[in-house]
Amino acid sequence: MKDLISYFSETFNYLEGIIIENQLDKNFENKLNEQKENLEDFRNLINQYEKDMLDFNSFESIGSDETLDKLMKIHKFITDFEWHISEISELKDEVIKICSSKRE
């Protein structure tokens, strides 16, 4: 089974191909470069999450500092995941908007 970063990479590659093949707005070059950096950051984030998940095998008291620290790590990872998803979604929305306008 593929991992999440593979799906994101394939999605990005498809969007990049559309942009390049159709010689869309030059502003996309900066957006593509930024998204490439974001994909690498996302890959690193997932790797770090996998490492940190090893610490989540034990359960402590609900009021312990360790439990709160683990919950805050989970919160940070989920927030970061959401941000990366929204970034590629914004790029997709811009490509859809341009493709739709070309059809009219």
Q: What is the CATH number of the domain that holds 25?
A: 1.20.1270
Segment 55-82 mean pLDDT: 86
Give the sign of the dihedral formed by CA 68, CA 3, CA 20, CA 37.
Answer: positive
With 60 as the cut, is the pLDDT of residue 1 above it? no
* Structural domain count, the chain: 1
Residue range(s) defining the domain that contains residue 24: 4-103
pLDDT of residue 84: 92
pLDDT tier at 30 (50, 70, 90 boundaries)? confident
User: In terms of residues, how long is the chain?
Assistant: 104
Among 21-25, 55-59, 85-89, which range has the highest average pLDDT? 85-89
